[in-house]
Amino acid sequence: MKGAALVTGASRGIGRAIAATLAREGWAVCINYLQRKDAAESLLAQLRAEGCAAMIYQADVADRGQVAAMVRAVEKEFGAVELLVNNAGISHQALFQDTGDETWDRLLAVNLTGTRNTCMEVLPGMISEKRGCIVNISSMWGLRGASCEVGYAATKAAVVGLTKSLALEVAPSKIRVNAIAPGCIETDMVKVLGEETKAMLVEETPIGRLGQPEDIANLVSFLADDKAGFITGQVITADGGFIV
Ligand code: NAP
């Protein structure tokens, strides 16, 4: 068995596929969720039936205390977290000037501070083991900008800055930190945009389709592997050629 992996926001969408892929590859996976206990439980049951090691844990990544309790629970169950995937995220579509303080603050709290909170809690274990891998899920919108998603895109750009800077800081401890910038991936997050927008996004994607959660999960699997042992501080885009 590989070590302990914590995947945030793993009840649905991209995180769910990441957790399933890692568990099937032998990682002992913690499936974090916020509200959808039913979805987290169904994934847990599915993975355990396949003989995988998995647990679920409800925590709001924006809350440092909840994150700390979650990481302690994973350590108790599976040992120190060796792989952290910061996937939990929220988006919001509105004109910049119509985006209120509460929405702005929540975007930052979940997408940026959430990533910071989990890193803070797993790093002591990784540093003492001189081993660890962190994969942050940013977005192509954080790289190229997105009209009517200024708050979301700003948090995802900030995740890129966090990734590069932290990678430099913890490299001497043999910890790698990378980010993935997905393009349009077919999940609930994209469903809310409606069929017309989805068709437009497919048209704009050179490879001619939306991405599937597994497209991102496969990349996480590679980055987590020792095969990627010389890769750190990078942002890898998986977007079907959208922003080439
Ligand atoms: P999704 O289908 O909306 O799923 C979001 C997941 O995050 C759910 O499991 C949700 O838990 C969890 N979550 C939300 N807020 C949380 C919080 N505060 N604490 C813990 N968990 C929380 O989203 P997705 O499309 O899979 O996106 C996953 C990540 O990829 C996000 O960071 C997103 O920004 C990024 N991304 C997505 C796309 C895309 O096209 N889909 C493109 C670029 C980047 P519950 O089920 O319990 O609510």
1: pLDDT strictly greater than 90: no
Residues facing 55 on adjacent strands: 30
Helices marked H in 2-60 — which ranges?
13-24, 37-49
Helix (H, G, I), strand (E, B) or coil at 25: coil
Establish whether residue 39 lines the binding site of ligand 1, counting it when its CB lies within 6 angstroms of any ligand atom: yes
CA neighbor of 146 nearest in space, from 86, 215, 204: 204
Q: Is 152 among the catalytic positions?
A: yes
The pLDDT confidence band at residue 25, using thresholds 50, 70 and 90, is very high
With the most atoms of ligand 1 within 8 angstroms of its CB, the residue from 8, 12, 64, 70 to mutate is 12
What percent of the chain clears pLDDT 70, i.e. is strictly above it?
A: 100
CA neighbor of 22 nearest in space, from 127, 133, 123, 112: 133
Q: Give the alpha-carbon dihedral of 39, 42, 48, 50, to 10 degrees.
A: -110
Average pLDDT, the chain: 98
Please write the tens of the pLDDT for every residue from 47-67. Answer: 999 999 999 999 999 999 999
Helix (H, G, I), strand (E, B) or coil at 134: strand
Q: What is the pTM of this model?
A: 0.99
The pLDDT confidence band at residue 171, using thresholds 50, 70 and 90, is very high
Please write the tens of the pLDDT for every residue from 80-134. Answer: 999 999 999 999 999 999 999 999 999 999 999 999 999 999 999 999 999 999 9
Establish whether residue 185 lines the binding site of ligand 1, counting it when its CB lies within 6 angstroms of any ligand atom: yes
